[in-house]
Amino acid sequence: MSLSTQSISSLRQQLTSGDIQPSDILDSLAESITSQNDSIGAYLSHDLDAAKQEANQADLSQPLGGIPIAIKDNINVKDQPCTCGSKFLDGAYQSPYDATVISKLRAAGAIPFGRANMDEFAMGSTTENSALGSTCNPNDITRAPGGSSGGSAAAVASQTAIAALGSDTGGSIRQPASHCGVVGLKPSYGRVSRYGLVAFASSLDQIGPLTQNVEDAALILNAISGYDSSDSTSLAQDVPDFTQGLDQGVAGMKLGLPKEYFGEGIDPSVREQVDQAIAGLESAGAEMVEISLPHTEYAVATYYIIAPAEASSNLSRFDGVRYGNRVDQPDDILDLYRRSREQGFGPEVKRRIILGTYVLSSGYYDAYYNRAQKVRTLIRQDFQNAYQNVDAILSPVTPSAAPLLGSDRDNPLQQYLADIYTLSANLAGICGISVPCGKVTSESGSQLPVGLQILGPHMGEQKLLQIARAAEIQAGN
């Protein structure tokens, strides 16, 4: 069996026994990348020599000692490019520092290896918005892998990565994990430091792992969690061992089924797979409880006011002056700003900047942004009320399986609506995970993965992972 196909725990056993060395894993991954990346496009770049130098220093006694992990290209790794999938930074920026999650991975013995493709500045749900080339779904290369962490999900699914880090602002870990058939975990807001993550929407962004299985997700979460004084939103809470209790099952738990997430709009074949996963958890001893999240209908509108507003503010730093690409011979400073941003940003980024600037502008702030923040509070309260009666919430991740590449390229509203089941978790700051639960057959006959979404209360990752492991077992994974 190729080393690139194995889980973290399996590789760790071989590393600690001395049967293999970290460089052997890197060689196996590099071979897989060479054979597959031209057709899938999961990676923007990878530096095997630098990774091998780091592997020689890896502490194999640490929990992730010797394990290579792919990194979404909006997370800073010292001396590596960080393009955010944008022309603005491509070839013009090399990170001078490590993000906190990278420092924590290295402290745990892991080796950052490869820059994973993404929608430009994490704005998109297909990875077609990358200015540096699209990524294909390894299950069917005519299909999108999801986004914005599509490169990370595709790398794990194609077994060109053992595991990967992504970021989730409105579903950008969970949605591509569902489409590609891997595990994708969005931690609670404040659980993992955002320092060194290029910000899209600061009150929504969260870094998390994409892995082959639930145990691997727990291992990585152990490493990257914890308070960080460099991130003012990081919470000073104890970090439990998330691998403990994974196999304790769900007997006696109450799991909520929100009626708003099981109405019209779900593809019947996707609904069938999700229903089977729910039935499996019920047979394992969980009690299913119908619940209501009454403000769900306002979630998409609320998100697409708050997220673009924060993006408009965060992306103002990309002005062609401090770093990144800039135009030649501008007429004046305003011309420098205007043309650098016009040429550097893609259509979706421009769309969201314009929308965000509009809702923050004088005369519209109260009507849009301020009102959206009030509705966000109501959405958060919906979840808080639900968790008084249930341990976690189950739902689909997306209304349909992976779409054909290009099918929604000219219909951004359709892409926005596809986030209906994922973005509320970001608005509420809770944790969520996508676990593969089955496959559906496409029109061409390919098998497309479907994920079950499990949503837990804020800082409830330990029980969330326990439920996810039970779902994984019921699905036969």
Question: What CATH number is given to the structural domain containing 173?
Answer: 3.90.1300.10
Tokens of 415: 């892409």
Closest CA to 32 of 183, 179, 157, 166: 157
Q: Give CA–CA dist 138/133, Å, rounded.
A: 15
- C-alpha dihedral, 354 to 147 to 89 to 194, nearest 10°: 90
One-letter amino acid identity for 147? G
The whole-angstrom distance between residue 241's C-alpha and the CA centroid of its chain comes to 22
Which tokens go with 10? 């399996």
Query: Could you state, in chain order, the average pLDDT of each consecutive group of 10 residues for the chain (477 residues)?
Result: 93 97 97 97 97 95 98 98 98 97 98 98 96 97 97 98 98 98 98 98 98 98 98 96 96 98 93 98 98 97 97 95 91 94 96 96 92 98 98 97 87 79 98 98 96 98 98 92
Catalytic residues: 72, 148, 172
CB atoms within 10 A of CB 307: 26
Q: For residues 314 and 317, what is the distance between their CA atoms, to the nearest angstrom? A: 6
The shares of helix, strand and coil residues in the chain, as percent rounded to the nearest 5, are 40, 15, 45
Q: Are the beta carbons of 435 and 474 closer than 8 angstroms?
A: no
Distances in whole angstroms, Cα of residue 70 to Cα of each of 142, 186, 211, 450: 23, 17, 10, 23
Res 169: pLDDT: 98
**Residue 400: which domain range?**
1-477
pLDDT given at position 338 = 94
By the 8 A CB rule, do 30 and 46 touch? yes
Q: List all residues 6 or more positions away from 18 whose beta carbon is below 8 Å from its beta carbon.
A: none
Quick one: pLDDT at residue 274?
A: 98
- For the chain, give the longest Cα–Cα distance: 70
Tally the domains of the chain: 1
Of 107, 147, 153, the closest CA to residue 129 belongs to: 147
Encoded amino acid at 21, one letter:
Q
Q: Please state, in angstroms and rounded to a whole number, the distance separating the CA atoms of residues 431 and 455.
A: 6
Angstrom distance (rounded) from CA 7 to CA 30: 17
- Residues facing residue 439 across a β-bridge: 449
Residue that is written with structure tokens 């600690």 in the block: 16
Q: Residue 130: what residue type?
A: S
Sign of CA dihedral 353, 358, 359, 360: positive
State residue 416's pLDDT score: 77
Neighbours of 293 (CB within 10 A): 22
Q: What is the pLDDT of residue 308?
A: 97
